[in-house]
């Protein structure tokens, strides 16, 4: 009996009772779809973290103030413990060996007006000209501001693409004037469309020289964070050490425990986030695995029913000379076809489901998960079909024929 004959007779078995076959497939279908969707969600969130990190670059560090600077327990310290533009300048002057650039940032929100249009709660970031280099930000038109604009606190801004089209729907934004909380600024450039994976959409924000933003909006002195670009991704750890020494010196901190800032290493952040995502995925995949197990038991159940119902057919086949392996194969392949069909439908379902965002993540199907899921489907059919098929194969021809 060659494989195509086995396939043909098994196929006949599966299609003989379509409703029952579909119901039997359901367990495997749901299990397979769940496994693929869950791994896709895990993969998608890992990718979005990756993307977020890679826009900053894996060689960046972020320094943030970790206290308000004037907490009750730190009454002995003065306001200089806070991060300021002077801190940034001081660090730059130290010419730390593994640090290329130090970019201070302040951020706030403001009401933005242009002609008769106005927009509330627009995110305004004050930073230095190096921001565009560190963040790898491209402009679609116009130009960024330069260091001299920053020194002179010029009223120039670079705006996000969404904001640009909102405010200046007809024509270019470059060269136009916008008002930020009543002060007029000139738009020098518009940023290209960027991925918006974070909570602040960069496409709707405004970038301005830090000195200007401090003077007009946030107040002079303190900054929210320093983004530090290490000389390359291998130097991140060394740069972190140098920064710590430099900052402690500048801020007059002697003891590690008194540090009023924290340094966040982007790749460390990435790793922890990925680990969390992975644990989550493994847990949920285990749940999906249980549904596959239940589906498999359903296959055993239905195949036992099928074998009982078709006892007479088995008797006829044996009377015509079917040997044990031929009958075994017929029912094994039938079980495997059932679960494979369930698996294929599960994959299709997963492909449909993963087109939608799931709890804020756009799932990305792991390519290998599809063949693996189909392979597992077939394996489930074979594993859970062995016992019924063995029962069929071991029937004695005369007894099988006698059953009505």
Partner 1 sequence: MSQPEQPPVADDSGRQAPVVELAGIEQIYGKGEMRVHALRGIDLTVASGEQVAIMGPSGSGKSTMMNLIGCLDVPTSGRYRLDGLEVGDLGEAELARVRNRRIGFVFQSFNLIARMSALANVELPLVYGGIARRERRERALAALESVGLAERGGHQPHQLSGGQQQRVAVARALVTEPALLLADEPTGNLDAESTEDVLRLFEHLGELGRTIVLITHEAEVGARADRLVTLADGVIVEDRPRTRGDDSADLDDTVEFPQYAPVRQGEGR
Q: Which residues bind partner 1 (CB under 8 A)?
A: 1-2, 5, 12, 16, 312-313, 316-324, 326, 396-398, 401
Q: How far is the CB of 340 from partner 1 (least distance, A)?
A: 22
49 or 337, CB closer to partner 1?
337
Which tokens hold the place of 190? 């518009």
4 or 169, CB closer to partner 1?
4
Q: How far is the CB of 322 from partner 1 (least distance, A)?
A: 5
Q: How far is the CB of 317 from partner 1 (least distance, A)?
A: 7
| Inter-residue contact 208 to 75 (CB < 8 Å) | no
4 or 116, CB closer to partner 1?
4
Sequence-distant (≥ 6) Cβ neighbours of residue 147 within 8 angstroms: 128, 129
Q: How far is the CB of 25 from partner 1 (least distance, A)?
A: 20
56 or 316, CB closer to partner 1?
316
Q: How far is the CB of 402 from partner 1 (least distance, A)?
A: 10
What Rg do the C-alpha atoms of the chain give, in angstroms? 33
Q: How far apart are CA 105 and CA 88, in angstroms?
A: 10
**Rounded alpha-carbon distances, angstroms, from residue 89 to 230, 264, 315, 359:** 16, 20, 91, 42
21 or 377, CB closer to partner 1?
21
8 or 245, CB closer to partner 1?
8
Q: How far is the CB of 3 from partner 1 (least distance, A)?
A: 12
| Inter-residue contact 337 to 382 (CB < 8 Å) | no
Q: How far apart are CA 88 and CA 80, in angstroms?
A: 12
The burial class, CB within 10 Å (0-12 / 13-18 / 19+), for 270 is: middle
Comparing C-alpha atoms, which of 352, 342, 350 is closest to residue 376?
342
Q: How far is the CB of 5 from partner 1 (least distance, A)?
A: 5
Can you say whether residue 16 is alpha, beta or left, with left for phi > 0 and alpha for psi between -120 and 50 degrees? Answer: alpha
DSSP 3-state of 32: helix
98 or 310, CB closer to partner 1?
310
């Amino acid at each position: 009996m060659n494989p195509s004959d086995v396939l043909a007779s098994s196929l006949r078995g599966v299609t003989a009772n379509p409703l029952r076959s579909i119901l039997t497939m359901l367990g495997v279908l749901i299990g397979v779809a769940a496994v693929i969707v869950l791994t896709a969600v895990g993969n998608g969130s890992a990718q979005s973290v990756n993307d977020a990190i890679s826009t900053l670059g894996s060689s960046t560090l972020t320094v943030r103030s970790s206290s308000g600077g004037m907490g009750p327990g730190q009454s002995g310290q003065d306001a200089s413990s806070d991060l300021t533009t002077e801190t940034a300048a001081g660090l730059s002057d130290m010419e730390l060996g593994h640090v290329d650039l130090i970019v201070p940032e302040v951020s706030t929100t403001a009401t933005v007006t242009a002609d008769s249009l106005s927009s509330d709660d627009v995110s305004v970031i004050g930073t230095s000209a190096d921001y565009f280099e560190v963040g790898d930000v491209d402009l679609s038109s116009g130009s960024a501001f330069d260091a001299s604009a920053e020194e002179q606190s010029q009223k120039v801004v670079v705006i996000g693409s969404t904001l640009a089209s909102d405010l200046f729907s007809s024509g270019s934004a470059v060269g136009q004037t916008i008002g930020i909380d009543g002060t007029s600024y000139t738009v020098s450039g518009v940023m290209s469309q960027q991925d918006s994976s974070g909570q602040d959409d960069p496409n709707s924000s405004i970038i301005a020289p830090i000195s200007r933003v401090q003077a007009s909006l946030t107040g002079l002195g303190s900054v929210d964070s320093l983004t530090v670009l290490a000389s390359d991704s291998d130097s991140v750890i060394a740069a972190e050490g140098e920064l710590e020494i430099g900052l402690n010196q500048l801020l007059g901190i002697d003891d590690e425990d008194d540090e009023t800032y924290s340094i966040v290493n982007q790749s460390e952040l990435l790793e922890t986030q990925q680990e969390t995502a992975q644990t989550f995925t493994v847990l949920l995949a285990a749940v999906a695995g249980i549904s596959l197990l239940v589906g498999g038991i359903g296959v055993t159940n239905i195949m036992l029913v099928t074998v009982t119902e078709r006892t007479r057919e088995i008797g006829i086949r044996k009377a015509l000379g079917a040997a044990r392996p031929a009958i075994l194969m017929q029912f094994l392949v039938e079980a495997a076809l059932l679960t494979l069909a369930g698996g294929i439908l599960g994959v299709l379902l997963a492909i449909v489901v993963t087109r939608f965002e799931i709890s804020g993540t756009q799932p990305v199907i792991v390519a290998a998960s599809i063949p693996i899921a189909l392979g597992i489907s077939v394996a489930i059919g074979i594993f859970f079909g062995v016992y019924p098929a063995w029962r069929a194969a071991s029937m004695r021809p005369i007894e099988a024929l006698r059953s009505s």
